[in-house]
Amino acid sequence: MYIKLAASCFISAALMLPMAGYTADSDKSSATTMVKDSVITTKIKAELAAEKMSSLVNISVDTDHKGVVTLGGTAASKTAVDKAVSIAKAVKGVTSVDNQIKVVADK
């Protein structure tokens, strides 16, 4: 009886070993990093909205795990693009800004 129980425990432990190794290797900061990225993105979007420039509405914001912000979309003028970039650079946690915004004239 005890031999069967011990053998079952040993086999169960051996089958769970790869799972324990995977857990030890995983990045424990990924959830924290995701929250940090979301906070940066949200702050930039809020600042863009606070500017009340209609051309800033069409700008998308994405932040990666290293604090690099990518701005995309369209704006009506170079001035609006420059304003969006300066807003993004001013947010705490931003390491750099990749400007992909296209200037398109209003119709």
Q: Dihedral (C-alpha) 43, 47, 48, 49: value to the nearest 10 degrees?
A: 100
According to the model, what pLDDT value does residue 25 have?
42
Task: For tokens 């040993």, name the residue.
Answer: 10
According to the model, what pLDDT value does residue 9 have?
59
Residue 100 lies in a domain: yes
**Which amino acid appears at position 82 of this protein?**
D
Residue 2 lies in a domain: no
**CATH code for the domain in which residue 82 is found:** 3.30.1340.30
Residue 93 lies in a domain: yes
Q: How do the pLDDT tens digits run along the chain, 107 residues long? A: 667 766 665 566 666 656 555 444 444 455 555 557 788 888 988 888 888 777 777 889 999 888 899 999 998 889 999 999 999 999 999 999 999 999 987 65
Residue 17 lies in a domain: no
- Please count the structural domains in the chain: 1
Question: Within 10 Å of residue 39's Cβ, how many Cβ atoms?
Answer: 14
Which domain, by its residues, includes 65? 31-107
